[in-house]
Amino acid sequence: MITVDDDLLREMYRRMSRIRKFEDTTKELLLAGELYGAFHTSTGQESSILKTRNALRIHDSMVGTHRSHGHPIGKGAQLDRLLAELMGKETGVNQGKGGSMHLSDFSIGSLGETSIVGSGLPVATGAALAYKMRGDDNVSLCFFGDGASNQGTFHESLNLAAIWKLPVVYVCENNGYGELTSAKDAISVEDISIRAVGYDMPGVTVDGQDVLAVFEAVSEAVDRARRGDGPSLVETKTYRFENHAVGRLPEHYRSSEEVEYWRTERDPLALFHQVLIERGFDEQQIDDLDAAVSEEIVAAIEFARQSPAPPPEAAFTHLFSPSAG
Amino acid sequence: MITVDDDLLREMYRRMSRIRKFEDTTKELLLAGELYGAFHTSTGQESSILKTRNALRIHDSMVGTHRSHGHPIGKGAQLDRLLAELMGKETGVNQGKGGSMHLSDFSIGSLGETSIVGSGLPVATGAALAYKMRGDDNVSLCFFGDGASNQGTFHESLNLAAIWKLPVVYVCENNGYGELTSAKDAISVEDISIRAVGYDMPGVTVDGQDVLAVFEAVSEAVDRARRGDGPSLVETKTYRFENHAVGRLPEHYRSSEEVEYWRTERDPLALFHQVLIERGFDEQQIDDLDAAVSEEIVAAIEFARQSPAPPPEAAFTHLFSPSAG
Amino acid sequence: MRTVSYIQAVTEAMTEEMERDESVFIMGEDVAWNMMGDCTGLVEKFGTERVRNTPISEAGFVGAGAGAAMVGMRPIVHMLIAPFMYVAFDQIVSIIAKSTYTYGGQARLPITLRAPMMYGVSNAAQHSDRPYATLMTIPGLKLIAPATPHDAKGMLKAAIRDDNPVITFEDRSLWGQSSEVPDGELIVPLGQAAVRREGTDVTVVTVAGAITLGLAAAEQLASEGVSAEVIDLRSIVPMDTDTILESVAKTGRLLIADPAHEMGSVASEISAVVAQHGFWSLQAPIARVTTPHTHMPFNADLEKVLLPNTDKIVAEARALME
Amino acid sequence: MRTVSYIQAVTEAMTEEMERDESVFIMGEDVAWNMMGDCTGLVEKFGTERVRNTPISEAGFVGAGAGAAMVGMRPIVHMLIAPFMYVAFDQIVSIIAKSTYTYGGQARLPITLRAPMMYGVSNAAQHSDRPYATLMTIPGLKLIAPATPHDAKGMLKAAIRDDNPVITFEDRSLWGQSSEVPDGELIVPLGQAAVRREGTDVTVVTVAGAITLGLAAAEQLASEGVSAEVIDLRSIVPMDTDTILESVAKTGRLLIADPAHEMGSVASEISAVVAQHGFWSLQAPIARVTTPHTHMPFNADLEKVLLPNTDKIVAEARALME
Ligand SMILES: Cc1ncc(C[n+]2csc(CCOP(=O)(O)OP(=O)(O)O)c2C)c(N)n1
Ligand SMILES: Cc1ncc(C[n+]2csc(CCOP(=O)(O)OP(=O)(O)O)c2C)c(N)n1
Ligand SMILES: [Mg+2]
Ligand SMILES: [Mg+2]
């Protein structure tokens, strides 16, 4: 059992709140026409995303998915450059080249989100290979969805990591659906974590709405990786509150009762709020945290709006890195 | 326990003998310069290959690998057209277009061997899908190696077959090596069959040199598939007596003691010979079977040698099927 | 005659062929949910066995389509968005394109891959490719890019009936466009280009959605006194080089408008064919209006910088007339 | 100067770069076993961590190479035979080619893929492709095809030092050829074609192993009084179009010899560039000597029917002179 002190609880809440408010804001701006692109939000999955500072260090890296707004935030990225990216601005973290499906921040170890489902697993595996070869004790964290667990890259990556004992933690955010298809119809097993058996690595399924449970499972896996004991698979059962892509696509594939249930009973922020109260925080303290985040959001919107668009020539830059080669 | 009567024993031996003698012949002809191409023989794996008539019917199909000479023979293909194919002749089963890595015989349900490692698994899965959709009770048999079990297609195919309950049997011929690399160094688990757990399907490992053990395991899986109860994974532990490709590549990756041990102690033909004797056959009967096969081989060589080469225009045919489209 | 949208035409083609032939079925991600709006009514008519949702396993289900085709089915595999074919690339190349040849004609591959292309809509580099040129390098595949509702229906039906693999690149900029489609049976044979507008000064060959730009450019050029003949390529492989060569023999000038990246493009191939076999007709260089050899950015304005448009076509055509 | 074979030159390049820079390593199937003979001495010098055998998981280990590169390593990924890239195609296109652009320059991808090509040796369709044209359609990759031991060494070293993805297509028909390679450091910058023989009547551009045919053809043409200039393309992307255009400006005639399939070939791209930007120099059609748009058969004689050879080049060049 990992002890979580008040500072850490506060920081966890703050990051969850940042993700939630960021997503609420982006959805609003999208529907108002100020943002554009294929837009997959993480609302509802905040706990599952969160890897606060004790589990993951700044030099550790992570790779995300198309549903990626939350991931760099969870790792500590600045909101303003993320939001500027969603507006396609020059100050955006990808200089306007990536947008919603590619939010990244290499400065804090977010190696970018990749929107081809399953394509990030080999990349995260390769980062871990580099760490192992160099002998530093970094860990590579790899996010992917339930849908992605059916891609061949899942299999190949887990096998590679296992035979090479790589410091990588595979976190499957099982939100029950890949686009409109239920995980039940697409995946041959109930718990994806059982697939770890096929790679002789630990596999565990946790309640993805319980941030402390996720934190514990991931911390254990990260410690194991850092010790040189190899990879793990952690599955978090979670839910996305919004539709697959905001403002697009039909919603007939799941019942409104189901959505309602998760929104009201299984909201990770509300559940964690509860925990904080039980742990002796008062409402005011929590309000203060939220208020600080709201200020950050307001500033981020301002920053993004004021930022210049990239000049037309920018379409041609970054095809290659500058190189002596 | 499946009962195997004398007729069936005889037929099994005959097919094994056909594979062995075919391979001995092709090796000889290759080294003599009469055959050419990348040449992967099945010698040593005969038991593992064999699916005699009771396990598999003519309307059932199979898909093989680059190590494919034995597979159509196991299913009952004629030796003459196979050998003609290895000589690149017009009478070859693929009209000289395929060669050693693509021996096939659609007339007896051998859908062809494919030499991109792992690429046959989706194909066999798709044949099974067709059978299921049409409601006939055919079964699709899929061969692949230990090396192929690390390809993403393995994972995707087994998951598809499991969720759709397809009549397909995945037979992994684990001969201990993929090219020069030991399965121990490449595969994260000792028994590949354990990977079946990740797809909620039965997985079993059997002694690949014991033809009756293979027959029983595969028959059970085929029956299960035919009944509509879905796919299975059968792993046969076997060994290839020859090098990865005949007449090519270094042999330093495995010890000569190891090769010697398998050749002398674990030769599936010798072991089965023993079984036949125990089951009351006498040497003469077995010799007669062998002699008949030898005659078939002589005739096949004659046929192949006499057959014409394809005309130059043949290079351009078969790019497309003739079609009304 | 009725006025039908491109996307409706696609749905009609699938519906009619599934009604006609039991061996036709469709599979892909969320097809039974009609996620993209192009499978309206299919699951209600044919059920979830024949309108089959797949897991996100492109190599697996594309290859399964190949296997099903080899034993007599006629699958339509929905790729959702064209670049997802990269994930299944080996199955497309090594199995689908090569099996008929390798097995000496024993294998038939009546499989249709539907590959809708989204570009110009801020989906960024991974989602915006128009990969027909990539696949043109692979023998054994028929590649089509119908550009009208009429052809969307008639060519898709021909593709489904073809005993060979056909990849149909549907330009999503056309999905919403409507025009006349005849009632009743409609089959448009593959392998034929269509002259959409006759002209005498310059031949403009368009690929996929570039037809819209080509026709608009021709209109503008006409007002400047330049008579452009606009040819909608429609079928990339086999390519109807005769129609193009005949047109160039008449006009003496060639411009190709192709939304894909320039290097190795269909535009380049057409140019090479004419430079080899129609050289003596040429009175001017062959112009290609394509996307430069760089990726699609997310930012909407940057993306516009790169893509072909009417102005670029008009300017290049004008230059050819000098 | 020493006489060195192509394959030795490749080994030297890898050895020197691994000695020079700890972040360089090689991985691929059976590389530590030196299966292909091109990794001689590597495992003895650098151990099995840096000369790393992989499982048969092309998408996995190619993508792992990308990930390792993103955090500072410089992997050389051995593809064994070029068509195995199809299995890893999405990782090559969606990750390796696109990440630098998509992440706005944050990602560096110093990865080298070695893609030996075997053709003309009866390996049949699945093993015999020369897929540089397929990959030419993908922006963000540098593609090279060194054709001499000198370039095999110098360009591979440049590729390894390049901060961008480079795919090097090694034509195995050249592996056994030997010629002079200087002692000591040798870097050949990417992106430059090489004039291998000067001439005045016709420009012959060769791709990969076609250099052997091009030079032999030039010899024969010389005996017939035709002076051919032979250009070894060497670098496919970026393509040194200047050198080609200059040569055509001098000769007025262009023939491209390319062992790959004709449709969408590098030959077609070169032709299109010249038809667009060098048109006024041309005195004759642009000839392509390539492999027709069909697969490689197993039968050795049938394969010869399809592949380019010296006679075909000579005949086409002669026709251009008429
Ligand atoms: C290779 C590929 N196939 C299909 C898609 C289209 N697509 C985008 S997101 C998605 C669902 C992914 O499901 P999951 O992995 O569970 O992630 P989630 O969206 O639930 O977070 C699909 C099919 C894609 N982007 N890439
Ligand atoms: C995708 C792919 N990668 C690599 C190869 C080269 N290759 C041919 S056979 C082989 C080993 C296959 O091992 P296994 O599956 O165990 O079959 P075996 O040869 O032992 O029968 C390899 C790596 C290939 N043909 N295809
Ligand atoms: Mg999901
Ligand atoms: Mg093996």
Collapsing DSSP to helix, strand or coil, B182 comes out as strand
Q: Does position A47 have pLDDT exceeding 90, yes or no?
A: no
Collapsing DSSP to helix, strand or coil, B59 comes out as coil
Cβ pairs A/C, distance under 8 A: 116
Mean pLDDT of A93-106: 96
Nearest-atom number in ligand 2 for the CA of D87 is 1
Q: Cα A95 from chain centroid?
A: 21
Say if residue D251 is exposed, middle or buried (CB neighbours under 10 Å; 0-12, 13-18, 19+): buried
Mean pLDDT of A304-323: 96
Mean pLDDT of A67-78: 90
What's the pLDDT score for residue A325? Answer: 43
Q: Is the dihedral of CA D154, D156, D161, D164 positive or negative?
A: positive
What's the pLDDT score for residue A303? Answer: 98
Nearest to A10 by CA among A275, A296, A305, A309: A275
Q: Does position B132 have pLDDT exceeding 90, yes or no?
A: yes
Dist. CA A277–CA D250, nearest whole Å = 84
What's the pLDDT score for residue A36? Answer: 87
Mean pLDDT of D315-319: 98
Mean pLDDT of D78-105: 98
Distance A180 CA to ligand 3 centre (A): 9
Q: Which domains does chain B have, with CATH numbers?
A: 6-303 (3.40.50.970)
- Cβ(A44) – ligand 1 distance below 6 Å: no
Which ligand number lies closest to the CA of residue D80?
2
Q: Does position A249 have pLDDT exceeding 70, yes or no?
A: no
Classify residue B109 as left (phi > 0), alpha (psi -120 to 50) or beta: left
What's the pLDDT score for residue A85? Answer: 97
* Count of H-run helices and E-run strands, chain C: 13, 14
Mean pLDDT of B88-105: 96
Query: What are the backbone angles phi and psi of residue C239, rounded to the nearest 5°?
Result: -100, 135
Q: Which residues pair with C78 in a beta bridge?
A: C28, C114
Per residue in B202-226, pLDDT (tens digit) is: 999 999 999 999 999 999 999 999 9
More confident residue, D167 or A251: D167
Contact (CB, 8 A) for A111 and A119? no
Nearest to B73 by CA among B95, B45, B34, B38: B45
Dist. CA B11–CA B28, nearest whole Å = 26
Q: Give chain A positions within 8 Å (CB) of D67.
A: 63, 111, 122-130, 140
Q: What is the ipTM of this complex?
A: 0.98
What's the pLDDT score for residue B36? Answer: 87
Q: Does position A324 have pLDDT exceeding 60, yes or no?
A: no
Nearest-atom number in ligand 2 for the CA of B183 is 16
Chain A neighbors (3+ CB pairs < 8 Å): B, C, D
Nearest to A110 by CA among A152, A157, A54, A70: A70
Nearest to C67 among B97, B126, B159 (CB): B126
Per residue in C131-160, pLDDT (tens digit) is: 999 999 999 999 999 999 999 999 999 999
Dist. CA D114–CA D137, nearest whole Å = 18
**Dihedral of the CA atoms D281, D286, D290, D291 (nearest 10)?**
160
**B310 DSSP assignment:** P
Banded pLDDT at A250 (limits 50, 70, 90): low
- D150 among known catalytic residues: no
- Cβ(A71) – ligand 1 distance below 6 Å: no
Nearest to D57 among B150, B185, B310 (CB): B150
What's the pLDDT score for residue C289? Answer: 98
What's the pLDDT score for residue D97? Answer: 98
Which ligand number lies closest to the CA of residue B180?
2
- For D204-237, the DSSP string reads EEE-TTHHHHHHHHHHHHHHTT--EEEEE--EEE
Per residue in D169-211, pLDDT (tens digit) is: 999 999 999 999 999 999 999 999 999 999 999 999 999 999 9
Nearest to B173 by CA among B63, B325, B95, B87: B63
Give chain B's length: 325
Q: Does position A222 have pLDDT exceeding 90, yes or no?
A: yes
Cβ pairs A/D, distance under 8 A: 163
Neighbouring CB atoms inside 10 A of C249's CB total: 14
Helix (H) or strand (E) holding C180: strand C178-181
**D240 DSSP assignment:** -
Contact (CB, 8 A) for C202 and C148? no
Chain B neighbors (3+ CB pairs < 8 Å): A, C, D
What's the pLDDT score for residue D1? Answer: 85
A160 reaches D (C-beta below 8 A): yes
What's the pLDDT score for residue B250? Answer: 67
Dist. CA D300–CA D188, nearest whole Å = 36
Dist. CA C301–CA C280, nearest whole Å = 41
C73–B130 CB contact, under 8 Å: yes
What's the pLDDT score for residue A52? Answer: 61
Q: Cα D216 from chain centroid?
A: 20
Classify residue C86 as left (phi > 0), alpha (psi -120 to 50) or beta: alpha
Task: Tell me the three-class secondary structure of chain A, residue by residue.
Answer: CCCCCHHHHHHHHHHHHHHHHHHHHHHHHHHCCCCCCCCCCCCCCHHHHCCCCCCCCCCCEEEECCCCCHHHHHHCCCHHHHHHHHCCCCCCCCCCCCHHHHCCEHHHCEEEECCCCCCHHHHHHHHHHHHHHHCCCCCEEEEEECHHHHCHHHHHHHHHHHHCCCCEEEEEEECCEECCEEHHHHCCCCCHHHHHHHHCCCEEEEECCCHHHHHHHHHHHHHHHHCCCCCEEEEEECCCCCCCCCCCCCCCCCCHHHHHHHHHHCCHHHHHHHHHHHCCCCHHHHHHHHHHHHHHHHHHHHHHHHCCCCCHHHHHCCCCCCCCC
**D263 DSSP assignment:** T
Mean pLDDT of B248-270: 90
Closest chain D CA to residue C104 = D297
Per residue in D66-79, pLDDT (tens digit) is: 999 999 999 999 99
Collapsing DSSP to helix, strand or coil, B267 comes out as coil
**Secondary structure E strands in chain B:** 61-64, 110-113, 140-145, 168-174, 177-178, 181-182, 203-207, 232-237
Say if residue B128 is exposed, middle or buried (CB neighbours under 10 Å; 0-12, 13-18, 19+): buried
Which ligand number lies closest to the CA of residue A179?
1
Residue B306, C-beta contacts closer than 8 angstroms, at least 6 positions apart: none
Banded pLDDT at C122 (limits 50, 70, 90): very high
Contact (CB, 8 A) for B318 and C100? yes
Distance D86 CA to ligand 3 centre (A): 27
Contact (CB, 8 A) for C142 and C167? yes
Q: Does position B59 have pLDDT exceeding 90, yes or no?
A: no
Per residue in B133-187, pLDDT (tens digit) is: 999 999 999 999 999 999 999 999 999 999 999 999 999 999 999 999 999 999 9
Banded pLDDT at A233 (limits 50, 70, 90): very high
Report chain A's mean pLDDT, rounded to a whole number. Answer: 93
Q: Does position A270 have pLDDT exceeding 70, yes or no?
A: yes
Q: Cα C79 from chain centroid?
A: 14
What's the pLDDT score for residue A54? Answer: 59
Contact (CB, 8 A) for D29 and D54? yes
Looking at domain C194-321, its CATH class is: alpha beta
Contact (CB, 8 A) for A130 and D67? yes
Per residue in D218-271, pLDDT (tens digit) is: 999 999 999 999 999 999 999 999 999 999 999 999 999 999 999 999 999 999
Distance A65 CA to ligand 1 centre (A): 9
Banded pLDDT at B37 (limits 50, 70, 90): confident
Dist. CA A187–CA D37, nearest whole Å = 43
Banded pLDDT at C1 (limits 50, 70, 90): confident
Ligand 2, atom 9, lies closest to the CA of: B179
Q: Cα D181 from chain centroid?
A: 19
Kindly state the percentage of chain D with pLDDT values over 70.
Answer: 100
Thinking of the domain C2-181, which architecture would CATH place it in?
A: 3-Layer(aba) Sandwich (3.40)
- Cβ(A242) – ligand 1 distance below 6 Å: no
Neighbouring CB atoms inside 10 A of B271's CB total: 16
Dist. CA D24–CA D160, nearest whole Å = 8
Collapsing DSSP to helix, strand or coil, C59 comes out as helix
Q: Which two tokens stand for residue C291?
A: 């996307």
Domain boundaries, chain C: 2-181, 194-321
Angle, vertex CA C255, rays to CA C251 and CA C258, nearest 5: 145
Mean pLDDT of C260-275: 98
Contact (CB, 8 A) for A48 and A173? yes
What's the pLDDT score for residue B3? Answer: 79
Tell me the nearest-neighbour CA distance from A231 into chain B, angstroms: 12
Contact (CB, 8 A) for B147 and B173? no
Dist. CA A143–CA A147, nearest whole Å = 12
D137–C263 CB contact, under 8 Å: yes
Q: Which two tokens stand for residue A166?
A: 């790589």
Say if D2-181 and D194-321 have the same CATH topology: yes
Contact (CB, 8 A) for A211 and A268? yes
What's the pLDDT score for residue B56? Answer: 72
Per residue in C160-206, pLDDT (tens digit) is: 999 999 999 999 999 999 999 999 999 999 999 999 999 999 999 99
Mean pLDDT of C83-101: 98
Q: Is the peptide bond before D131 cis (omega within 30 degrees of 0)?
A: no
What's the pLDDT score for residue A34? Answer: 93
Residue D317, C-beta contacts closer than 8 angstroms, at least 6 positions apart: D202, D204, D217, D221, D226, D228, D253, D255, D287
- For C230-293, the DSSP string reads EEE--EEETT-HHHHHHHHHHHS-EEEEEEEESTT-HHHHHHHHHHHHSGGG-SSPPEEEEE-S
Neighbouring CB atoms inside 10 A of D296's CB total: 30
